């Protein structure tokens, strides 16, 4: 299948995605197309290329952006949505497009020249699922805020103690040995120290746990 055939087929599928929104807008037959949003050297942000015949229709144009999927040889084998949320955009008709936008002349397959115009994406309007229109800048801001993790507040500790959970992190694999040294500082383990500081029977020494429990 040729690239043009893939594009025509995908354009129909993309249109179906937005039919409910078009109904809310009261549009029975809107002018809809799919475009790539590209970066161009010397220009800020993304841009969209419109053909002269599209702009000359004098209608608002509804757009969804897409990305090309290519094989190892660079041949386009599929077209996929650029945005996971399937954002719909609107180019509001500008009768002065031929004066305000950068014009490019190209040669068609029939040997005849045609013109296209580069429109900054930030001039588009984003259409919400409810049918409301917001500026491209506000759309970008909302998208950026959705992707942020709120690190403004300090994370709460899972425990009020400054000590780790010794039972989980420092399990004592030694069997309990009761001797005359049990009451000496040399025999004091980390878990014994935790038991004393916490006043909780978490030691491996039964006698120490009993003492703490009887406090």
CA dihedral 91, 97, 102, 105 (to 10 degrees): 100
pLDDT (average), residues 80-90: 95
Dihedral over Cα of 183, 189, 191, 197: its sign: positive
Q: What is the pTM of this model?
A: 0.67
Closest C-alpha among 181, 176, 159 to residue 168: 159
Looking at 2-16, 165-179, 180-194, which range is the least confident one? Answer: 165-179
Q: Which residues contact 205 (CB under 8 A, 6 or more apart)?
A: 176, 178, 182, 192
pLDDT value for 61: 98
Between 137 and 190, whose confidence is greater?
137
Is the pLDDT at 170 greater than 70? The verdict is: no
* Average pLDDT of span 112-132: 95
- pLDDT higher at 121 or 175: 121
Over residues 76-84, the mean pLDDT reads 94
For residues 48 and 37, the answer to whether their CB atoms sit within 8 Å is: yes
Q: Is the pLDDT of residue 186 over 50?
A: yes
**Residue 193, C-beta contacts closer than 8 angstroms, at least 6 positions apart:** none
> Is residue 35 pLDDT above 90, yes or no?
yes
Over 50: is that where the pLDDT of 179 sits? no
Give me the pLDDT at residue 169, please: 57
């Amino acid at each position: 299948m040729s690239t043009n055939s893939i594009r025509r087929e995908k354009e129909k599928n993309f249109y179906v995605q937005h039919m409910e929104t078009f109904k809310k807008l009261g549009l029975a037959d809107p002018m809809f197309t799919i475009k790539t949003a590209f970066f161009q050297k010397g220009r800020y942000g993304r841009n969209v290329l419109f053909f002269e015949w599209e702009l000359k229709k004098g209608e608002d144009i509804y757009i969804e952006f897409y990305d090309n999927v290519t094989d190892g040889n660079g041949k386009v084998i599929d077209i996929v949505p650029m945005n996971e949320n399937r954002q719909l955009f609107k180019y509001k008709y500008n009768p002065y497009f031929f004066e305000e936008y950068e014009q490019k002349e190209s040669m068609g397959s029939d040997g005849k020249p045609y013109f296209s115009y580069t429109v900054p994406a930030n001039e588009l309007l984003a259409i919400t699922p409810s049918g409301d229109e917001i500026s491209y800048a506000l759309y970008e801001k909302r998208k950026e805020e959705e992707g942020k993790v709120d690190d403004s507040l300090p994370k709460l500790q899972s425990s009020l103690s400054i000590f780790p959970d010794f039972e989980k992190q420092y399990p004592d694999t030694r069997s309990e040995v009761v001797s005359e040294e049990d009451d000496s500082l040399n025999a004091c383990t980390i878990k014994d120290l935790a038991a004393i500081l916490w006043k909780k029977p978490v030691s491996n020494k039964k006698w120490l746990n009993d003492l703490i429990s009887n406090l």
